[in-house]
Structure 1
Amino acid sequence: MAEPIKLSDVRFAAMNLLAIREHSAKELLEKLGRKFSAPELILQVVTDLKGQNLQSDERFADAFIRMRQQQGKGCVLIKMELRERGVDGYLISQLIDESEPAWFALARDVLIKRFKQTPVDAREKAKQMRFLHSRGFSSQHIQAAFNSEYDVQ
């Protein structure tokens, strides 16, 4: 017969996950759910960790946004990924402002890094626009990236 699952075991596992990186509450619930078959204990642990400010969706989202920006990802993609990870829409809108100049600069930087020069024809421009779109940039950011010349020799 298997030993009963203890609250301390679930908390220890949760703390280990949080020591590696920030996790959203939803991620923590899912990961602990795969390891332990005690949903009520898992929920209690995650709730306690939130109450003690050891788990914070805001901290998670902030770190996640910075990481994805460094990877050259746009705000549309980042917002979608945060929603998938259970971050509240209101919190997302507080942390990501699409009109911030940093998003326009990032789109331009990603374009320069990938393509080095302006497109020679409409077909090449469409290819470059699709690339930025796949990276999660809004059409507003994409248009702005093309409005400035970016030849880098």
Structure 2
Amino acid sequence: MGFAKLSLKGRALKYLAQREHSRVELARKLAPHADDANDIDTVLDALEAAGWLSEARFVESVLHRKAARLGTARIRQELQGHGLAPEAVAGAVEQLRGSELERARAIWTRRFGGDAPTDATERARQMRFLAARGFATEVIRRVVRGGEDD
């Protein structure tokens, strides 16, 4: 039995079996296969009531997959893009803030070997690298400055 013959609920469960999804993301994936938008809402409501679709599990999944590679700002942006409740996003951001310096230092060390930049050009390149991954400016300064001077 392939995807073509699945009901909306079956299709949604198949997506959820692969990984956690947000309600918005799952609705977007189901939309081409539904005759009516109300059908999607009904299926998603039933999945939430049964515990198959969980905003909290989705947030934890994103944190688990992305925290080692991205800064708090990038993860916040991704969570907001999934249409999550502001409280869930704020809770995740608060959880990440405590480890941002350690995560940034680990990424910087893997990428640049832990050696402080020798000139302004290299310092700017390293800072751009961390900024593009969503780390806070103060955290970037502390990491690129080098050493364990916390």
Q: TM-score, normalised by structure 1?
A: 0.86
Counterpart in 2 of 1:23? 21
Counterpart in 2 of 1:5? none
Runs of 4+ in 1 over 4 A off after TM superposition: none
Matches within 5 A, 1:3-152: 9-70=7-68, 72-97=69-94, 98-100=96-98, 102-116=99-113, 117-149=115-147
Letter in 2 for 1:82: L
RMSD: 1.6
Letter in 2 for 1:67: R
The alignment partner of 2:67 has SS state of: helix
Equivalent-residue separation in structure 2 for 1:43 and 1:118 (angstroms):
53
Q: Is the 8 A contact 2:72 2:97 kept in 1?
A: no
Structure 1 unpaired stretches of 5+ = 1-7
Following superposition, the deviation at residue 147 of structure 1 comes to 4.0
Counterpart in 1 of 2:3? none
Letter in 2 for 1:110: I
Equivalent-residue separation in structure 1 for 2:124 and 2:101 (angstroms):
18
Paired residues in the alignment total: 141
Equivalent-residue separation in structure 2 for 1:99 and 1:13 (angstroms):
36
Equivalent-residue separation in structure 2 for 1:99 and 1:76 (angstroms):
10
Letter in 2 for 1:24: S
Q: TM-score, normalised by structure 2?
A: 0.87
Following superposition, the deviation at residue 62 of structure 1 comes to 0.8
- Superposed CA deviations along residues 127-147 of structure 1, whole A, max 9, x for unmatched, are 100000001111122122134
Equivalent-residue separation in structure 1 for 2:32 and 2:138 (angstroms):
41
Equivalent-residue separation in structure 2 for 1:26 and 1:109 (angstroms):
33
Bigger mean CA offset, 113-122 vs 140-149: 140-149
Equivalent-residue separation in structure 2 for 1:28 and 1:87 (angstroms):
12
Letter in 2 for 1:30: R
